[in-house]
Chain A
Amino acid sequence: MSRTRRSIGLTVALAATLALAACGGDDGGATGDGTGNDCTAGKTLAEGTLTVATGNPAYEPWVVGDAPESGEGFEAAVAYAVAGALGFSDANVAWVRTGFDEAIQPGAKNFDFNLQQYSITDERKQTVSFSAPYYTSNQAVVGFADSPAVGAESVADLRGLKFGAQSGTTSLAFITDVIRPEAEPFVYDDNAAAKAALEAKQIDAIVVDLPTAFYIAAVEIEGGTVIGQFPASEGAEADQFGLLLDLDNPLVTCVDDALASLRDDGTLAAIEREWLADKTNAPVISLD
């Protein structure tokens, strides 16, 4: 008797929740129960769940405290916003970790999309698929306050300096293609090594994307400063971050639609304002 009543009560509560969720979901969700919309149906790794990958570890300001589940940090917030626009509730977002190489290996992927500041390039598109960009980054110069790069007004002032960059980043290509210094740049696996090289005066400055620059200058490289940023360039040199998906994954169109709606309604800009430092806080170094 009492057992039956409780079951009925539960069912009613559940139905109410579902109804509420259905009403609240104005994103064209098929069911509105937080397990995806019409577009994503049958396209995710696990039905009803969006599996998102990030770096191992994930760095600030992209993910705060290496805990993407919190939704704190620019990319964590973008991931949940995209998930929401795709009709997934926060509870139906699962996180996995991959290194860069794991994401581009030819085997089956263990994520629906992967975000860890992957720059969209035509070369990479032959192996993996990218969404539309969710962020356009400027390159920036980081060094100590006594670096000879301080006060540089154009790339011409930087040509005589020795630069460092992180392996596999577009910053390295930016050094060799745009700054074109006289000395070959040095390349490091991580910021710890780059910092040691700065301290040993083996390099004068490192080049990283601007949000990372603000973070490492404030936190990782004691006494470091963002010496300058380069204006966002157009075309081939633009450094746009995209969500990485398995090659020809049909989910790409859904994700692109989601990103477009987030861009149009100002959500992306709001997330950027919340988690990334104001771009205007660093002096601009002209590309002439």
Chain B
Amino acid sequence: MAPAPEARAAERRAHERRVRRRSAVVAAASTVAVLAAVVLGVPRLPRWDRVRRSFFDGERFADSLPRLLEAFWLDVRIFAWCTPVIFGLGLVVAILRNSRAPALFPARALTVAYVDVMRGVPVILWIYLVGFGVPGLGLERPWNSPLLWGSVALCLTYGAYVAEVFRAGIESIHEGQRAAARSLGLSASQTMRFVVLPQAVRRVMPPLMNDLVSLQKDVALVSLIGPIEILRQAGIDKSKFANFTPYVAAAAVFLCITIPLTRVADWLVARERRRTAGTVVR
């Protein structure tokens, strides 16, 4: 005689509870074991003391941090004035590339070449080429500033990346949207401005945020042509003290920016998903 269905269900639930409990115990035990190995084991390694002094020296950290923050202000400023230019440039390039007027063919060809070349060449080369090359043509101060031309180089490279993101967004908007807009009497440019772009830009916000996070780190490359920003300052302090702690301090400063930025990006993705899902249900 087989047991009653209720009894079987109870037995299954009890079994699942046992399995869950055992998983929890195993997970907790392995976490504790790993933590213990790191916390207790690493300091017992023969040269841990030297490593700790080289990378995690509290005194050096506190000593460097004010200088690093001061230098970081330069990163923030470069980032702040580059971001709007990059978005503007990227948007213009993306729209041109998606233009359909036959007369604009040269512009389309140009944007394709621009994006291909800019993205295919390392940022460092553009920084050197534009940052030293253009001022080397005979510009006078302050128009030969490495800060200015380094920023231009960043804008040109990131403009290409962002243009591709915008292009993907624009192309993701269904052709039916354009058809509907045009049938309502909107011109081609009005269709782009009022129908395609608002949807496209919203859709690509998350990948745009990714580009911002990576721009935030590439700003440091401007230091190659002279200006002292946070990573350069960390390098200076590292040499001065023969200690790598300033880099750890700089990393902490970076994390204070990139982690919130990443959370904002996540939040934008979640909002976009809720928003699009909502339209389906309604």
Name A residues whose Cβ lies closer than 8 Å to a Cβ of B. 100-101, 104-108, 121, 123-124, 126-128, 164, 167-169, 172-173, 184-189, 193, 196-197, 199-203, 247
Contact = CB atoms under 8 A, between A and B. Distances in A.
A142 B185 CA distance: 69
A106 B53 CA distance: 8
B242 A172 contact: no
B136 A187 contact: no
Interface of B: 47, 50-51, 53-55, 128, 132, 135-136, 139-141, 144-146, 223-228, 232, 235-236, 238-244
A186 B50 contact: no
A201 B228 contact: no
Given A186-B226, A197-B225, A127 B136 contact: no
Contacts of A123: 240-243
The 4 closest A-B pairs by CB, nearest first: A168-B239, A186-B226, A106-B54, A200-B135
A106 B47 contact: yes
Please report whether the interface of chain B is mostly helix, strand, loop or mixed according to DSSP: helix
Contact of B132 (A105, A189, A196): A196
Contacts of A101: 238, 244
A197 B149 CA distance: 12
Nearest to A246: B50
Contacts of A105: 54, 244
Q: Kindly name the residue among A128, A169, A188, A202 whose own CB sees the greatest number of chain B CB atoms within 10 A.
A: A202
A189 B39 CA distance: 37
Contacts of A200: 132, 135-136, 139, 144, 146
26 contacts: A104-B54, A104-B243, A105-B54, A105-B244, A106-B50, A106-B53, A107-B51, A108-B47, A123-B240, A123-B242, A124-B242, A164-B226, A185-B228, A186-B227, A187-B236, A189-B224, A193-B225, A196-B128, A196-B132, A196-B136, A196-B225, A197-B225, A200-B139, A201-B139, A202-B132, A202-B146
